[in-house]
Structure 1
């Protein structure tokens, strides 16, 4: 194995390009085309599921027991719930996030006849009108509305312009790179996508031969729970999810290095695969830390819940203010890309995993050898 150089210029530009593309869950076709075209440019073959999840392939010396790396292309967003009598739009969230972070955002509303622009405002937005009442509103999606940039004074005006219940609402990412920090909405998980593409580019450009096939999976419905439930190859034995960690009080995640998740709300990740990744971090001196997430699930959960008997792990880049105005650092993305490029060069965690069923002989132990007694 070798620690491959990661092109940070490519990674950061790829991320900025991804952040320009609206992709709330359910409205992901454009970003699927974009990532597909980038895979074609890199010379990595891929296929699409019916709804647009991507399965790309890095060929290895052996086909099995093969592995997968998974990220999600979809982001949080909103949908029009009602056309209001005051000429504004009532919205509900796509994914789980707070309306606190929606207030003041510029948005695109995708109607059946074209795209409109608008701004999300609290119901009482003007201090000149409502005085201290602007600071007394509850935080709830029922307390915000979209002011559209069109002449709409009532519900009928909205209907005439082409607005409908069910229109998708995408929130501007507003990316800004400062001193290595990346500030934007939707780093979850556009930063993960850019990191996986950068790692794949390093493998391809380095001419590295992989021991087993590795599948790059790009899912389109992680934010609403189904994620990797229908995109896996049947013979995948182990899958590593790439997503954001949550630096915050009470958490061990940071905006630097790789955060290796030991457990999330769906339960512990595979002991052996997780410790293999930790071992690679230690052997190749990749800055890392461990964490446990209480209010969090990822593509691994949907894959297991769909009935896939696979080993799963989760490795992360730290994102401050997740599902809001997010921030991470390029150093975390580089560390994560380096770990991914090392993992795909490593031997399978267990060769016996090529078989769905096997004997007790050869099945691994956890922990120290003394535990075998």
Structure 2
């Protein structure tokens, strides 16, 4: 076995700190500083893009053909669309999430003059006033408003508070860490993935593990709006694994226990060879796993490919119940993911042709092709996959 022991308490401590640090897309400076501190504490040097996407490289035997692990620091949130005549705020979502899960949420509004607390409410929020109309009200962002916990009876009052159109609204996570291993919170997507990565890195550092190539630990800041890993991939990277949430819902095969390996998302299949390597590592290291396909989902991998990065990509996930809503996960999945990352990091490179960005067909990968493979066998006989 090549998997390493994971410091479970450290992983949960980091997750709790991350959840308590608001970071809706567009307001991630504070969480970037926290993760930078953790990476430096673990012995790595952090490189940062202008906007705050992060790269920390753990050196291996060689730098070309490097491997990358990526998760995102940003979460869902909202933004002030209008200051309403009744003193409340019209909102638009940051990221794709339903107003159904916004109703009743406690929030923080970040303004140039400081912060204000508030609650997102349906337009008809009083049962004593609207009676059954509360139950028949439609769902949608145009049907909710943010009530500020300050003197704000009309638009002029709101203006005096210093609240402006475009101000960022963070949604309270309300985390609960239960004794049976379940964790319930908003924003587990993808702060749980960040905690998994840091726990895996700590295991590699504690063990002094040697890796065949450099491992790039990447953290992005705009995945929820589709930007993701589009600007943090270097030319040294040959393969990249995204760590994010899987969806445990009817019609899906994801699970709150073990690793869920995504075979495809809405952008198409993940790399054939990399996903199968991950499956083999799970089998060899007795890590529980299952496979799934996501139809309405994309991750940091998609943005990297769309930006033109020529890297093999895969997605490993922790099963989340009620994703982008009131989310629930289990620590078993987090530990399993961290173990898989360590096993992958120390595993040998099988596709040595990937050390170069481009080369000839010698050493190029092969997939089972049935009859077509038999017909072409004289042509490809000398082009076996290098081990």
Q: Same fold (TM over 0.5)?
A: yes
TM interval, shorter chain, is: over 0.9
Q: Deviations over 1:136-162 (max 9, x none)?
A: 111100010000010011001000110
The equivalent residue for 2:96 is: 96
Q: Deviations over 1:232-290 (max 9, x none)?
A: 11121100000000000000000000000000000000000000000000111100000
Q: Which deviates more, 114-123 or 40-49? A: 40-49
How many positions carry a matched residue from both structures? 373
Task: Return the alpha-carbon distance in structure 2 between the equivalents of residues 232 and 218 of structure 1.
Answer: 11
Task: Return the alpha-carbon distance in structure 1 between the equivalents of residues 371 and 71 of structure 2.
Answer: 38
Task: Return the alpha-carbon distance in structure 2 between the equivalents of residues 216 and 348 of structure 1.
Answer: 18
Q: CA deviation at 1:368?
A: 7.1
Q: Which deviates more, 198-207 or 341-350? A: 341-350
CA contact (8 A) 1:237 1:310 kept: yes
The equivalent residue for 2:313 is: 312
User: Aligned pair 1:255/2:256, yes or no?
Assistant: yes
The correspondence of residues 316-355 of structure 1 with structure 2, limited to 5 A, is 316-355=317-356
Q: CA deviation at 1:371?
A: 6.1
Task: Return the alpha-carbon distance in structure 2 between the equivalents of residues 277 and 298 of structure 1.
Answer: 18
CA contact (8 A) 2:116 2:148 kept: yes
CA contact (8 A) 1:273 1:349 kept: no
User: Aligned pair 1:62/2:82, yes or no?
Assistant: no
The equivalent residue for 1:238 is: 239
The correspondence of residues 55-204 of structure 1 with structure 2, limited to 5 A, is 55-178=55-178, 179-204=180-205
SS at match of 1:210: coil
CA contact (8 A) 2:186 2:324 kept: yes
CA contact (8 A) 2:2 2:347 kept: no
User: Aligned pair 1:271/2:266, yes or no?
Assistant: no
Q: CA deviation at 1:348?
A: 2.3
**Unaligned runs of at least 5 residues, structure 1:** none
Task: Return the alpha-carbon distance in structure 2 between the equivalents of residues 39 and 369 of structure 1.
Answer: 47
CA contact (8 A) 2:116 2:149 kept: yes
Q: Which deviates more, 344-353 or 359-368? A: 359-368
Q: CA deviation at 1:369?
A: 8.1
- Superposition RMSD in Å: 1.0
TM-score by length of 1: 0.98
SS at match of 1:367: coil
